[in-house]
Structure 1
Amino acid sequence: MTKEPLEDDGKGIGFFERYLTVWVILCIIAGVAVGQFLPAVPETLSRFEYAQVSIPVAILIWLMIYPMMAQIDFSSIVNAGKKPKGLIVTLAVNWLIKPFTMFFIAWLFFTVIFSPFIPADLASQYIAGAVLLGAAPCTAMVFVWSYLTRGNAGYTLVQVSVNDIILIFAYGPIVMLLLRINNIVVPFDTIFLSIVLFIIIPLAAGYISRVVLIKRKGLDWFENVFLKSAGKFTIAGLLLTLIIIFSFQGDVILNNPFHIGLIAVPLIIQTLFIFVIAYVWAQKWKIEHSVAAPAAMIGTSNFFELAVAVAIALFGLNSGATLVTVVGVLVEVPLMLFLVRIANKTRHWFPETRLVKVKGH
């Protein structure tokens, strides 16, 4: 008889990740304070740009994204056909449903329901930020959600690896399409530069270092020593990036604090909506819970580090689009922990789990 996962003890999720919302709030306060009382800091940082990309922020974002990409084992993709239903749910939700429902829900709230509170030009930027979030499926934190729902770790790796391959080719066209519908035309070369900088380069660096280090040090050392150490850079990079962002966003926050709450509403609704679609679909298809729960979590959560990076590259540090992606960070962790609890309490809805052994795990 298997032991039920401990939903509230935090096992499997690090201290910083578990309280990420708290750190984000502290970064908002610190960033706003820097912008108001030390304006020379954002003014100096704004000078270090190339092709509208902030060099200091780009370095911090690479520190965020690289450890996540190093986790991906593309050799696991050969096992994708062992349980195709779980993969179909993940891919269909991530690429055929989620970006478009995110766009519609954001448009509905920012331009219709909240129109008395949000100017039209700012609403357009908010929609753009939501699009950048909705088109980027989760890459790293989903391993935590999978662990907390007692998911099949090997199959979760397959799902994430396949999604990362698709991300390289699909993210740009989907973002450009939805932004164009929103009357925002982004040059292709700007999108292409963002994909190269924040997807292809860290993905290639992660893959190469993974292969080299595993060959030299072994898989156990790589997973238990290197990745755990590198993961600290992800948190540090994220928090420092947020402080920089909010040093530029200080006036926006102080003049429109109510907007943070307004932005959070459609993001929360979208998250719950996508979870219901993926989770119920998996249940109706009689997919085992160890596959179904991670499949739903991948579709529900976002690769917010990538969304933040692309928003900065396309629209700037002080844009409404960047603000939306940061609010996405703010709401995601507590909301996903809530959905983990739901998944664990509804385990009996699914067929008995029979784990599939995936090579290397």
Structure 2
Amino acid sequence: MTDHALVAEAQDAPAIGFFEKYLTVWVALCIVAGIGLGHLLPGVFGAIASAEVAQVNLPVAVLIWLMIVPMLLRVDFASLAQVGTFWRGIGVTLFINWAVKPFSMALLGWLFIGFLFRPWLPEGEIDSYIAGLIILAAAPCTAMVFVWSSLTRGEPNFTLSQVALNDAIMIVAFAPIVGLLLGLSAITVPWDTLLISVVLYIVLPVIVAQLVRRRLLASGGQRALDRLVGLLQPLSLVSLLATLVLLFGFQGERIIAQPLIIALIAVPILIQVYFNSGLAYLLNRISGEQHCVAGPSALIGASNFFELAVAAAIALFGLNSGAALATVVGVLVEVPVMLSVVWIVNRSRGWYERGSRVAGSAD
């Protein structure tokens, strides 16, 4: 694919749509619906929970595939050829995504969930909440970053190449990082289930998405691919919301008993988003990278592939686990917090470009 086509593809990524813009509202409604349905239809939710094969819940697996595959259709691994063009921004983002974010989230989880907030949380779920936070931070965002990048007038080739590179790394790095940090947290790591999750929710969706992508581009070009992505996007969001209804159908009793749980879990998530985005933004400025690269770099460095996190948490710890709930809190705060980062990046552009190395690199 030519450079022009890559730029056109990224620029054609839609601005934040109605459903994405109000994702926090839909998640809140799913919390209410899930809790209510869990009370009214306990038998139905029990049947869904028991529909498992090799510790994989089949209804949830189908929903998660419907979430993930449409997002991966946007990723063009041919854009990896552009990596060297933006080496400073790529280096900063990789450092944040893989050397800082999972570990900073683990530290924040231990500090807030394991220590400061422990008296207000159910004792038996403390480790599970921390595990969910770690899983959430171990997977960089794949889809929504195209929206965030466009809102900051980000360099489209950088965004494409960075997402493709992160997805390639995630195939081999997700399981080791999650296993390492769960082990350091003294949480038993079900390695067989973790590896199955990587294959089922990363490797296979990537392969399927790339095969479909290549077939469509060969037969109908970019227009055919855009048409399919547009058709599948609403299905992806509906599948996400249906999964959340199931999760809260099982979590209802716990949340009703302790309604502060969601707010307390949100605290380390919010801190790590602002910390990692700020650090990425500052490191790009120090390195002399352009603002159109620094913006998406900060956003990619801070955001999470929450669909994968939800899938992995369910596979590892179950539908009614604290880990699954923690990843869902990430979904709840994703849109408003990332939009606030977009606002900060856009408003600080003048300050950013007054940096001596940034100004020098533009001359």
What residue in structure 1 maps to residue 311 of structure 2? Answer: 309
Cα distance in 1, alignment partners of residues 126 and 49 from structure 2? 25
Q: Note if contact 1:111-1:120 (Cα within 8 Å) is conserved in structure 2.
A: no
Q: CA–CA distance in 2 between the matches of 1:313 and 1:221?
A: 34
The 1:192–1:154 alpha-carbon spacing in structure 2 relative to 1, beyond 3 Å, is: same
1:352 deviation in Å? 7.2
How do 1:54-133 residues align onto structure 2 when only pairs under 5 Å count? 54-133=57-136
SS in 1 for 2:118: coil
Note the C-alpha offset of 1:118: 2.0
What are the superposed Cα offsets for residues 246-267 of structure 1, whole Å, 9 maximum, x if unpaired? 1111111111111111111111
What amino acid sits opposite 1:241 in the alignment? T
Identity %: 49
Q: Decide which of 163, 179, 183 is 1:180's aligned counterpart.
A: 183
Residues in 2 aligned to 1:314 and 1:252: alpha-carbon distance in whole angstroms:
20
State the Cα distance separating 1:37 from its structure 2 match: 1.0
Q: Tell me the equivalent position of 1:331.
A: 333
Q: Superposition pairs for residues 336-347 of structure 1, below 5 Å?
A: 336-347=338-349
Aligned length: 344
Distance in 1, Cα, partners of 2:57 & 2:361: 48
Query: Out of 234, 237, 261, which is 1:235 matched to?
Result: 237
Query: AA paired with 1:58?
Result: A
**Cα deviation code 1:170-209 (max 9, x no counterpart):** 0000000111111112232111100011001111111000
2:172 aligned partner: 169
The unaligned stretches of length 5 or more in structure 1 are 1-10, 356-361
8 Å CA contact retained: 1:133, 1:302: yes
SS at match of 2:120: coil
Name the CA distance, whole Å, in 2 between partners of 1:354 and 1:238. 43
User: Which amino acid counterpart does residue 240 of structure 2 have in structure 1?
Assistant: L
Correspondence list, 1:172-251, <5 A: 172-223=175-226, 225-251=227-253
Deviation at 1:354, TM superposition (A): 10
Please list the CA deviations of residues 123-145 of structure 1 after superposition, one character each: whole Å capped at 9, or x if unmatched.
11110000001101111000000
Q: Which has the higher helix share?
A: 2
CA spacing shift, 1:64–1:354, aligned 2, 3 Å: farther
Which residue is 1:6 aligned to? none
Deviates more, 1:344-353 or 1:160-169: 344-353
**Aligned residues of 2:82 and 2:157 also touching (Cα < 8 A):** no
Matched, 1:13 2:21: no
Query: Of 269, 272, 275, which aligns to 2:271?
Result: 269
- Cα offset for 1:120? 3.7
Q: Does the 8 A contact of 1:143 with 1:156 survive in 2?
A: yes
- Report the CA distance between 1:347 and its aligned residue: 1.3
Contact 1:288/1:353 (CA < 8 Å) preserved in 2?
no
Give the TM-score taking structure 2 as reference length. Answer: 0.92
- Contact between 1:34 and 1:41, CA under 8 Å: does it hold in 2? no
Q: 1:256 aligns with which of 249, 255, 258?
A: 258
Gaps of 5+ in 2: 1-13
Q: Residue 187 of structure 2: SS of its match in structure 1?
A: coil
Alignment correspondent of 1:145: 148
Q: What is the RMSD of the two structures over their aligned residues, measured on CA atoms?
A: 1.5
- Secondary structure of 1:218's match? helix
Question: Within 2, Cα distance between the matches of 1:51 and 1:85?
Answer: 43
State the partner residue of 1:286: 288
Q: Structure 1 residue 332: deviation in Å?
A: 1.1
Q: Distance in 2 between matches of 1:53 and 1:296?
A: 34
SS in 2 for 1:46: helix
Q: Could you tell me how far apart the structure 2 residues matched to 1:308 and 1:280 are?
A: 30
Amino acid at match of 2:344: I
